Amino acid sequence: MTDGRPCKVCNFTRQKSYGVVVPSLDQLKKKGCEFLGVNPTDPVTVVLEGDGTIVEDQAYFLCLPFNTKFMLLRDKETWAPARKIDGGTAWMARESMLLEADAVDSAVVATPWGNLALQLKENLNSIILMSEGDLQSLVDASCSELASVLGFQEKKTQELQETLQRVLDRKEEERQSKELLQLYLKAVGKEDAQQGDPSPPSQDGAGDVDMPDGMEVDSASGFLTRTLMVLKGKTSPETRLSTEDLQVVVSKGLEAMQQVLGWDAARTSKLLQACEAELSARLQQIQAMQSISSTQQDGSTQKEGAGTATQGGS
């Protein structure tokens, strides 16, 4: 017995279509009539749905690929190609869409974040391979333009940018914590020399902290490109700068920072005040840790002295 062949069968209007498994052309007619509600005694003609080729030979039927779609035609019914509701102008719309997409892509690539956005559109998981500078570029991009490239709604794109900003903030906090710990350990190592002078670490000391790899120095301002990017960021840039960067910003003064940032005096002054406050808070933390360490050492010395006196008395 011949194995069944999966096929599709429809009526001449294409409004009804069914899948059947039949071993022969005769069985296709029989089952097709049953599913389509055609009287089995009525004569029917089997044609290919795609081009109207009449199928009458069993051998030809068996040569056709699986899931071929057939059409059953009754008397006075004729095959016709599928009707195009666009009047044959669909190709114009497709060409227009392609041209528009090409124009958008070429304009996007010209922006700093363009290639990054196209990578995300292709594979959203590529975001885990992006550097902090790349993520910052996506955060600084126009929400509406980024949404257009990604094919997202603006609200979803805004949520993505906010998430990336939180990731960057967390990384900066981790860097600051590491830097603070390094400064503390360095202060503890020099504790004997600093007992009477718990002054803040010098700028040279802060320079021992590792700088992020791949960041170039801007020749005009002397700042790292990443530092300039942070200073011109959207939210609380002073909390995302290292202590060394804060010291440099504060030491440059108002006029120099105006030239570096290209801002007016009021905006630049507000930033400098925020940087001074942040720097002061960090230095107070360092001094507090030094004081705690000194107190602990004094307590240990007193205990050792008391123990020695007790042994002498006995």
pLDDT at position 174 is: 83
Give per-residue pLDDT as tens, 244-268. 888 888 888 888 888 888 888 888 8
Amino acid type, 77: E
Domain ranges of the chain: 5-73, 90-165, 195-302
pLDDT at position 209 is: 45
Predicted confidence band of residue 192 (pLDDT cuts 50, 70, 90)? low
pLDDT over 60 (residue 28): yes
Segment of 46-60, 118-132, 196-210 carrying the highest mean pLDDT: 46-60
Question: Which fold, 195-302?
Answer: Dna Fragmentation Factor Alpha Subunit; Chain: A; (1.10.1490)
pLDDT over 80 (residue 61): yes
Q: Is the pTM above the cut of 0.85?
A: no
Average pLDDT estimate for 103-128: 69
**Which of 15-24, 130-139, 186-195, 225-234 has the least mean pLDDT?**
186-195
**Which of 31-45, 52-66, 72-86, 165-179 has the least mean pLDDT?**
72-86
CATH code, 5-73? 3.10.20.10
pLDDT over 90 (residue 71): yes
Mean pLDDT of the chain: 76
Residue 199: phi, psi to the nearest 5? -80, 160
